[in-house]
Structure 1
Amino acid sequence: MSESSRIVLPAPTGVPSREHALPAERPASLEGARLLLIDNGQVQPSLPRYGPLVDWLAEDLQATVAGLTIERRGEDLIQFQEDELAALRAEILDGGYDGLVIAVCHAGVTASSTVLSLALERAGLPCVLLATGLGGPLAATMAAHDVPGLPIIEVPWLRGMDGEAVAASRAERAAAVVAALTTPPERLAAAAADNPAVGDPAAGLTEIAVDDADASAALYERLEPLQLGDGFPVVAPSGERVEAMLAASPLPPEEVLIGPPMPSGSSITVHNLAINAVLAGCRPAYFPVVLAAVRAMAAPEYRFFHTAITTHPGGVAIVVSGPIAEELGIASGQGCLGPGFRANATIGRAVNLTLINVARSIPGRSSLATHASAAQYSYCFAERLEGHPWQPLHEEHADAATSTVTVLKCEPPHNVLSMIGTEPEQMLTATASVAATLGTNTFRYPGDHLVIMNPVDAANLADEGWTKDDVRQFLFEHARVNRSALPEKRYTLSSPTWFEHTDRVPVARIPEEFHLVVAGGIGAQFMIAPPWGLSRAVTRAIETS
């Protein structure tokens, strides 16, 4: 590439909020040491094929190291918010331990477990994570952006192992834990640097040089080996395009919107969000909606750092309500959740590109989604105001002149076609039955649902005297499953205590967790989107410059 044909574009990544740190200093030996061993809530009964890891490790370490004292603690870390992790960190440091082992990093609990370990390493406490093949890559990516060299020991499935092989695996794991807690930090960091599997090919990237003749096509080719982008072609974020996007923002470019999200340790700022909005194909006029969506995702109840990496296939549903939808051409009618609408496609895509490029929720690596879904490309639509029989979302949360955006981490919407009749109770019974299935997360973590009603049936309900509150109450009372169908042990920390004493267990905690949206065209279908569960719906006003 000649200098005359070269153009330098800003990278769509973030800037780390702090310098990398070495792991904590390790003792030369664990003899006479005190270790804290945390079961993070995943070992049993979630992972029976890995065996009783914590029990085995405690036995094997004490058999291996003379005078070693092990204290055990159970914490369901996936339930912890960031402030709760900070409090737990302080409590552990006050305990005077010589080391910490957490088992086991698997699925979403990996994020909390790794955040805790990285903070403790920076504070001087040696840590080790035991991880499955699912959790290990996420933990390694997070460590690469903060404390490269944090020891992560993979635990194998027991499937196909005989007793001798299991015993050998146990001994190997105990020896690896001892080594991880006694190896000098410089050697741990050097080993991580020599292992390409634990790095990030885009780490430290600030700009990308491409051929000016067709910058967008050239950039598209450059992104894939860097594990950037969503696989679709992109628009090159030239200085002129980024400046035009920023001109539509009511906030300064350097303002931090979410910071710093894991796995990358970088903050999402107005500036890097604008770069990703250009990549996605947004018009500058769309940027206030993108900005409002990300600001809503920053709310603690949204649980950003868990939603970015979960095994769940849901996307970030972005529901725009108010006059701005018509102004920008955000589709709310026939086919509004499908292809053909630039505003819908690119607003949702800008948010998801930011998750991949800045937060580094890398598909197949630090994003743990088992299958993922098309909702993780774009999941944006508007509420239909024409003929709306009730109060739309923006009027519920603000007023008629104020446009809002509502975000929720949820599954792609499920179709509801009432085959039992078209009376209000029959249509809503069919809707409730789709929500109340044993395959959703809601019997672990009940929560917010999106209920997307076509305008004709919504009007029919209103004509029959049904209010929004009536519909919510009906769904709350009927979207339930018999207790006898559920396992005895369930995740119930996010459930009201009265759930344990009812024969019919709800999928939501209160009626208001059914968010009714009128959208779509003429037809017989409703749609309902069950939630990931730990994330709550957040609504925010859209501000324009």
Structure 2
Amino acid sequence: MSEVVLEVLNPRGVLEDPRRRGLFAPRPADLNGKKICVMALWSDSEAFFATITQMLKEKYPAVEFVYAESMHSPFAQDKTAEVAAMCDAWLDGVKSCTTGGRMDAAARLEMLGKPGVSVCTDAVLMLKKLQSDFNGVPTCRVVSVPATDYIAAKMDPEKMKAVAAAAFDDIVRALTEPLTKEEQEVSDFIVDESPLKFTGATYSEAYEKFQQYCADNAMGDGMPVVPPTREAVEWMLTGTTYPRDKVIGIMEPKRGIATVEKIAINAVMAGARPEYLPVIIAMVEAITDERFNQYHVVNEILPVFFISGPIVEEIGLNNGSGYLAPGYRANATIGRALLMCMINIGWRDMRYYSSPGGPGQIAAYANYVIPENQKESPWPSYAVSCGFGPDESVVTVCETLSVMRGPAETLFMETYEQRLEKMRQIFSQHTNVFSHFGMPPHGNPGARHMIAMHPSLARQLADAGFTRESFIQWLHDANTIDWDKMTEEEREEFKRNVREGRVSEFMRRFSLDDCRPGLLMEPFSDIKHVALMVAGTGAGATLVFSTSMGSTVLGAKDGKPLPFMQKVIRGAALTKAGR
């Protein structure tokens, strides 16, 4: 019996910059007389390093310490040159469970010839190593501490002493032991794009080998994938007029090059049809725009996509009952195709980039893809409200930190006034999105909200005289504390509420010192920072997706961030919409 050969095209992306280098700066054998820069991430890290520096001082009496701000935050500026100029070695950490920014201070300091050690919990050890790798130095030294021990001691400096003491010897060795050959000699990250072949006595055997290969090499989402044979990929490419080698963008975290063909290969693996391909391409184009914080959405922070325009109906996207549920090929595979592109083109290893240290989110399998129900909307389409033409189909995307359920029809008998109040409360300073970061006291330009409103609530609002824009303005005004616009009576009432402890904000109570000109707390600073689109059925529910810092804020040009990232769907070959 002849063997069956299953040949598939390679879904992996070639890296924009495959260069890698090893460590080269000599490690100091003796820390006496050396100046070590300590970069503590949070207050718990400060407690951890307080013990480490004390123990280092006892072991090396002539060691000195200087301190610099951690560069872990997405907002951090690259100050590695300044740090390198002030020290002989460095300590950085403690990364416990968060995403942070793409830049790796460890890799950049090593490139500047300054040796050091990063500290993290074991829950994110591989994530930290991968971060150093895609910053060009894969062998940066990292010491890990048990996540349970460290995080249980986060708010208790006394307990943190024991956690730090247990890691002390490992930190000293990482600071002082000579470099190994493996640490110094590394290879560039070269991708072999050759087709992959799987053989078996039967097709089932070859097919299973392909599935296992994808699982073993982190090339899937854990569910079976469709083999991207040459014939299947050619069929997928019939959905677009774009040339196969057209570069759509660069995908994080490793910055793989997303060509139309690579996107098509991954769309096949996700089970998509050719007429969906222009939508998938537009989604990739949106998140790879340099003004979009793509690194966040390839970690645990999910993107939310609104799809507005005639292509929704033409390709059969479900915009009614269960639009986020299983059962609809277009909805499920379009979102899954984007995930497959992240996994294979961007080299997003889901074992580590699904939720750093956390449980993950089931919605990550297909992302949040929300199609507009324009037929039942009382307002113009969302795309038209943003200035696009009625024949244009548009993808809108932003990351979300919080998903909140607004008014719903099932098991609820609410008056219109009660529904308004429920919507208002979602945008108050006490709800989920602001429970950690709080509302800034001088305006809130970074906040973004995306409202997927079911048609019956939209109809009630329209019947009451609200336009899309006037309702968003009402949400703002009903939740804003603006001292400068208060009447004297309102100011006195506000101060009375402060004295009685009825006005609170993230982890603190307001004091009378806050009651002064300039006090401005608002859920968002511009009505354009709220996307409101009608989706679902009249018997459905309203969902609100919120983030305290929108995906377009960090990449703003000239200090003027876009409200949301939007791309017109183009290049369609099989549909009238999206051409």
**Interval containing the TM-score (normalised by the shorter chain):** 0.7 to 0.9
Equivalent residues of 1:26, 1:183 under 8 A apart:
no
The one-letter code sitting in structure 1 at the alignment partner of 2:432 is: T
Distance in 2 (CA, whole Å) between partners of 1:165 and 1:448 is 38
Taking a change above 3 Å as real, the CA distance of residues 298 and 500 of structure 1, as seen in their structure-2 partners, is farther
Rate the CA distance shift 1:267–1:489 in 2: closer, same or farther, 3 A: farther
Partner secondary structure for residue 138 of structure 1: helix
What's 1:242 paired with?
233
SS at match of 1:302: coil
How does 1:45-444 map onto structure 2 within 5 Å?
47=44, 52-75=47-70, 77-80=72-75, 85=77, 87-93=78-84, 95=85, 97-112=87-102, 115-144=104-133, 146-156=136-146, 157=149, 170-171=164-165, 173-187=167-181, 189=183, 207-211=195-199, 213-214=203-204, 217-249=208-240, 251-259=242-250, 261-262=252-253, 264-310=254-300, 312=301, 315-368=302-355, 370-378=358-366, 379-397=368-386, 398-410=388-400, 411=402, 414-417=405-408, 421-423=414-416, 425-436=417-428, 438=430, 440-443=432-435, 444=437
- SS of the residue corresponding to residue 240 of structure 1 reads helix
Structure 1 residues 126 and 243, CA gap change in structure 2 (3 angstroms): farther
SS at match of 1:180: helix
- AA in 2 matched with 1:176: D
Q: 1:170 to 1:527 in 2, by over 3 A?
A: closer
CA separation in 2, counterparts of 1:259 and 1:100?
32
Q: 1:203 to 1:134 in 2, by over 3 A?
A: farther
Output the CA distance in 2 between the equivalents of 1:21 and 1:465. Answer: 63
For 2:338 and 2:517, how far apart are their aligned partners in 1? 35
Corresponding position of 2:474: 474
In the alignment, the residues of structure 1 paired with residue 106 and residue 246 of structure 2 have an alpha-carbon distance, to the nearest angstrom, of 28
* Residue deviations 1:21-61 (CA, integer Å, cap 9, x gap): 10232244333333322123xx32xx4xx770232233333
Secondary structure, aligned partner of 1:325: helix
Offset from partner CA, 1:215-263 (integer Å, 9 cap, x none):
655422332222331122211111222233345445544454443522x
The number of aligned residues is: 511
SS of aligned partner of 1:134: helix
Taking the aligned partners of 2:383 and 2:173, their CA distance within structure 1 comes to: 57
User: Are 2:102 and 2:131, in contact at CA under 8 Å, matched by a contact in 1?
Assistant: no
Name which of 475, 485, 488 aligns with 2:508.
488
**CA distance in structure 2 between the partners assigned to 1:406 and 1:51 by the alignment:** 40
Which of 528, 551, 555 lines up with 1:512 in the alignment? 528
Distance 2:159 2:414 in 1: 59
Report the Cα distance in structure 2 between the residues aligned to 1:451 and 1:19, rounded to whole angstroms: 43
Question: Do residues 465 (structure 1) and 455 (structure 2) align?
Answer: no
Partner residue, 1:5 = 4
- 3-state SS, counterpart of residue 458 of structure 1: helix
Aligned letter for 1:55?
A
3-state DSSP class of the match of 1:529?
A: strand
CA distance in 1, matches of 2:8, 2:112: 38
CA 1:413–1:247 in 2, change beyond 3 Å: closer, same or farther?
farther
CA distance in 2 between partners of 1:348 and 1:272 (Å): 16
Name the CA distance, whole Å, in 2 between partners of 1:392 and 1:474: 20
Give the deviation of 1:399 after TM superposition.
1.2
Task: Please list the CA deviations of residues 419-440 of structure 1 after superposition, one character each: whole Å capped at 9, or x if unmatched.
Answer: 57342x4323212324548562
User: Hey, what's the Cα distance between the residues in 1 that align with 2:335 and 2:64?
Assistant: 52
The aligned amino acid for 2:414 is: G
Identical positions, percent:
23
Work out whether residues 320 and 405 of structure 1, in 8 Å CA contact, stay in contact via their aligned partners in 2.
Answer: yes
100 and 267 in structure 1: CA distance in 2 versus 1, 3 angstrom threshold: farther
Secondary structure of the 2:36 match is: strand
* Per-residue Cα deviation, 1:51-99 (whole angstroms, up to 9, x for no partner): 702322333333333533321022463232xxx64x4334444x25322
1:412 positional shift: 5.1
Q: Name 1:197's counterpart in structure 2.
A: none
Q: Is the 8 A contact 1:454 1:526 kept in 2?
A: yes
In structure 1, C-alpha distance between the alignment counterparts of 2:239 and 2:429, rounded to whole Å: 43
Contact residue 143 and residue 150 of structure 1 kept, 8 A: yes
Shift of 1:298: 1.9
Larger Rg: 2
Conservation of the 8 A alpha-carbon contact between 1:142 and 1:265: no
Shift of 1:104: 1.4
| Correspondent of 1:541 among 555, 564, 568 | 568
| CA displacement, residues 125-179 of structure 1 (integer Å, 9 cap, x when unaligned) | 3232110133322112333554232111113425599999976754553443343
1:250-284 alpha-carbon deviations (Å, 9 max, x no partner): 5544454443522x353444333222111001112
Question: Which residue does 2:498 correspond to in 1?
Answer: none
1:31 aligned partner:
32
Deviates more, 1:136-145 or 1:336-345: 136-145
1:466 to partner: Cα distance: 0.5
Question: Please, which runs of 5 or more residues in structure 2 have no aligned partner?
Answer: 439-445, 482-501, 511-515, 553-563, 573-579
Query: How far apart, CA to CA, are the structure 2 residues paired with 1:508 and 1:163?
Result: 37
Deviations for 1:277-330, whole angstroms, at most 9, x for unmatched residues? 1100111221111111111112345311122223x5xx3222111111122111
**CA distance in 1 between partners of 2:212 and 2:377 (Å):** 45
Q: Is the 8 A contact 1:13 1:206 kept in 2?
A: no
Query: Normalization by structure 2: what TM-score?
Result: 0.77
Say if 1:429 and 1:475, in contact at 8 Å, map to a contact too.
Answer: no
Kept in 2, the 8 Å contact 1:149–1:185? The answer is: no
Separation (CA, whole Å) in 2 of partners of 1:21 and 1:252: 35
Quickly say closer, same or farther: Cα 1:211–1:415, change in 2 above 3 A. farther
Preserved CA contact (<8 Å) 1:13 1:358: yes
Q: Which amino acid aligns with 1:118?
A: A
